[in-house]
Structure 1
């Protein structure tokens, strides 16, 4: 009886953990994320061309985790990316920056520096990622 009980517990743990495995993915960059100038702060991924940097304020990383919304048709990694970029822009605004350049995405140490794809981790419960970039004042001339 004790052996069957123990085997049942082990089987339950294996089943639960297999359903909660987070998978690292490289995904196409959604069109909305490529909207460079939104809310007064432009985003430039990777080595996208931009005006000359007048002032480098600081490098900033924003990490987000979003839970699965059963009513949303939007892929969870796209939701996580949108939230992270929104938070990064919000932070830049508090520093009176007009842009974030050299934006990259990362999940568990695997970073992508690209304007066409991003890195994300997703599971049945949600998605997570980090974005990093240089918060700057670009020359306006």
Structure 2
């Protein structure tokens, strides 16, 4: 009896660890996040966004590459909802950095989740766990035009 209780306690502890340690990596559409995500209306038109592989006007000035690494509370949310929210937070941070540097566009935006860089014109990468979701982006801040 005592041995079976110890086994049951060990099994529960292992299962709880597995739930807490979940880190599912997803690829979600950029367009959906920019259109459907809570807070999408905050993404400004003054700083244009061009994801890796998307054509863009020539840059007249470059301010360098900048990175974001945003996390959000995912508890009680679907992975997709949490990921859209944190993606928008990362995009807003890139736009704010562009404004601060004097840029009006961020080009070559790519995902960099857990330092695993992926380039896509249509999708971003998000890691979702039981409690936290995260998105990391990199992009080049530039001035397009005069």
Q: Normalization by structure 1: what TM-score?
A: 0.82
Single out whichever of 117-126 and 23-32 deviates more from structure 2: 23-32
The 5-angstrom pairing of residues 1-141 of structure 1 reads 7=7, 10-20=10-20, 21-33=22-34, 38-68=44-74, 70=76, 75-140=81-146
Distance 1:3 1:60 in 2: 55
Can you list the C-alpha shifts for 1:4-63, whole angstroms capped at 9, x where unaligned? 67545533431222212111112222335379x825111100121111111110100000
Q: How many residues align?
A: 139
Q: CA RMSD in A?
A: 2.7
Runs (4 or more) in structure 1 with deviation over 6 Å come to 71-74
User: Which deviates more, 8-17 or 97-106?
Assistant: 8-17
Per the normalisation by structure 2, the TM-score is: 0.80
Give the stretch that moved more between structures: 69-78 or 19-28. Answer: 69-78
Unaligned stretches of 5+ in structure 1?
A: none
